[in-house]
Structure 1
Amino acid sequence: LIVGADPDLKTERPLFEMVSDAQTILPDSEGAIDGHLREVGLTFHLLKDVPGLISKNKEKALIQAFSPLGITDWNSIFWIAHPGGPAILDQVEQKLGLKEEKMRATRHVLSEYGNMSSACVLFIIDEMRKKSAAEGATTTGEGLDWGVLFGFGPG
């Protein structure tokens, strides 16, 4: 993964470019996701309402990140979403009114590899890139100019 700034479009062709960001601390979420490093690896414990907490608060971060760009239609952008699990994806889709295909790359990576924590989004970026190329899309984001990469976790 290479991160740069201000690409020279005569010599560089960025796959994705970050133009805006936002973060949100969810109210009443202390202890909702606990991570522990143990001999068996990194383990997480999630409270039952984590999907609800995320879906209820996701749009706030989206508005913060996309309002400077004038984007309010969440189906007009491509999605690279940390999967967490099917329940989280289902509730985010429902709350935001997303079309089923918006989470296709995310769901594919989740089904093939499981939840790999933060590394998931790198696999989803690659899946999005490969799928876009295979379908002859004009951009690496399913032919769309704008997209969102979102993640969540403890801390």
Structure 2
Amino acid sequence: MPAYIQNISTVVPERSYDQTFLRDRMKEYISNKDITQRIIHRIYSNSGINKRHTVIPDFNANGDPRFFFQENGTLNVPSTGARNELYTQKAKELFVETARQTIEETPSVNRDDITHVITVSCTGFFAPEPAFEIIQKLGLPTSTQRYHLGFMGCFAAFPAMKMAKSFCESHPNAKVLIVCLELCSIHLQPSESTDNLISASVFADGAAGLIITKDKPHETNSYELTNFATAIAQESEKDMAWTIGDTGFDMVLSTYVPDIIKANLKQSIAPLLTDYQLTIDDIKHWALHPGGRAILDKVQDNFNIANEQLSPSRQVLANYGNMSSATILFVLKELLNRPSSEAQESVLAMAFGPGLTIESGLLQKIQPT
């Protein structure tokens, strides 16, 4: 039984900063060592990012208390508790707003129709979990089933979509709401290590929602979820990971990650292509998680992907940075909104996360009939 993404909605915090501004503030606050400042300048200038959104109130004109970058030139290092308190406050608001917008932008689904809510986040925790907040604030049926995927990182939208597809296959009337939300910026670390500086240069805040049902939309573009695959790159566990410390989550994004992904790509997507007797040339669109510019460059080089095929990923990276689990949904939305030359076009979607795990999905972009 097929399942379809009816709509994808995206929400970001109102506050955003240019990448050049953030580069200069990091040089100002992190270290006065010439070598470190040169590294920061190079990383930020070559990131492929123009701006990023954040819930952090620093540098605005409202006079809000600063969280990290103090006016006296020092860098505050909040505790994990303080960071999670900010996460709880801001995430509750954004989860509800994203869910509301997703439902309102899906004409074929009403609030009372939602049977399952799957929430995804790896940047903070609170209980009752986010789906409870969504159900309470939006007045969804109290019988709505709730699920939460946590601490899976940038690839977590894929397990959520697989869960939703299974629910639709098991329950023909299922209408599944997924909301992925990440507030990565609250975990900035005052570290001069290259891996931490790379993490600080790409991660940002944002949320995305989608509704999956068995019904094929007839008025708007949609995606049919065809099949998924999962692969783990061996001996790469420490190159993309994070731990919970006393001063937030310590995220590691090794400089080796792009090469590890490149070395494991072909074998990771082979099952999808084999099952449907496809070749790389049969893929019309590529929806790649833009974990960083170097990752996109390596994938493009590995498969000889045309610039136009990768432009949705590069555009999302430039305008939003890496929002962890929500980012691939921004890419899929960007692609969904673009004109199609055919009634049905193949899409290969991929995301990369801790493990190092490579999640991929074969989708069909369908025009309304």
Q: Which residue of 2 aligns with 1:102?
A: 309
Q: Which residue of 2 aligns with 1:129?
A: 336
**1:3-18 to 2 correspondence within 5 Å?**
3-5=212-214, 7-8=215-216, 15-18=222-225
Q: Distance in 1 between matches of 2:290 and 2:247?
A: 22
Deviation larger for 58-67 or 29-38: 29-38
Q: Give the alignment partner of residue 27 of structure 1, picking from 234, 244, 252.
A: 234
Distance 1:20 1:120 in 2: 20
| Structure 2 CA distance for aligned equivalents of residues 91 and 25 of structure 1 | 18
Amino acid at match of 1:2: I
Task: Provide the C-alpha distance between the structure 2 equivalents of 1:40 and 1:127, rounded to a whole number of angstroms.
Answer: 35
The answer for the alignment partner of 1:45 in structure 2 is 252
Match of 2:331, SS?
helix
Which residue in the other structure is 2:290 paired with?
A: 83
2:346 pairs, out of 129, 141, 146, with 146
- Partner Cα separation in structure 2 for residue 36 and residue 74 of structure 1: 40
Aligned to 1:34, the other structure's residue is in SS state strand
Residue 94 of structure 1 aligns to which amino acid in structure 2?
A: D
1:49-96 Cα shifts (integer Å, max 9, x gaps): 100110111111221112111111246321111111010110111111
Distance of 2:245 and 2:345 partners within structure 1: 41
Moved more, 64-73 or 34-43: 34-43
Answer with 1 or 2: which has the greater Rg. 2
Give the AA of the match of 2:350. F
Shift of 1:40: 8.0
SS of alignment partner, residue 115 of structure 1: coil
Task: Point out the structure with the larger strand share.
Answer: 2
Q: Is the 8 A contact 2:280 2:303 kept in 1?
A: no
Deviation at 1:41, TM superposition (A): 6.7
- 1: CA distance between counterparts of 2:248 and 2:285? 32
Conserved 8 A contact 2:282-2:346:
no
Query: What RMSD in Å do the two structures reach over aligned CA positions?
Result: 2.5
Give, in whole Å, the separation in 2 of the partners of 1:14 and 1:38: 44
Displacement of 1:17: 1.1
Query: How far off its partner does 1:106 sit?
Result: 0.3
Compared CA separation, residues 144 and 86, structure 1 to 2 (3 A): farther
Q: Distance between the aligned counterparts of 2:280 and 2:228, measured in 1?
A: 17
Worse-matched range after superposition: 14-23 or 36-45: 36-45
Q: TM-score, normalised by structure 1?
A: 0.81
Is contact 1:77-1:144 (8 Å) kept? no
**Change in CA separation of 1:148 and 1:76 when aligned onto 2, cut-off 3 Å:** closer
Equivalent residue for 2:264?
57
Q: Among all aligned residue pairs of Structure 1 and Structure 2, give the percentage whose two residues are the same amino acid.
A: 29
What TM-score, normalized to structure 2? Answer: 0.36
Return 5+ residue gaps in structure 1 as ranges: none
Q: Secondary structure of the residue that 1:83 maps to in structure 2?
A: coil
Report the alpha carbon displacement of residue 101 of structure 1 after superposing the two structures with TM: 1.5
Aligned CA distance change for structure 1 residues 46 and 53 (closer, same or farther; 3 Å): same
Letter in 2 for 1:82: H
Which runs of no fewer than 5 residues in structure 2 stay unpaired?
1-209, 356-369
1:35 CA drift (Å): 2.5
In 1, are the aligned partners of 2:243 and 2:251 still within 8 Å (CA)?
yes
Q: Is the 8 A contact 2:291 2:322 kept in 1?
A: yes
How far the C-alpha of 1:97 sits from its partner, in A, is 1.4
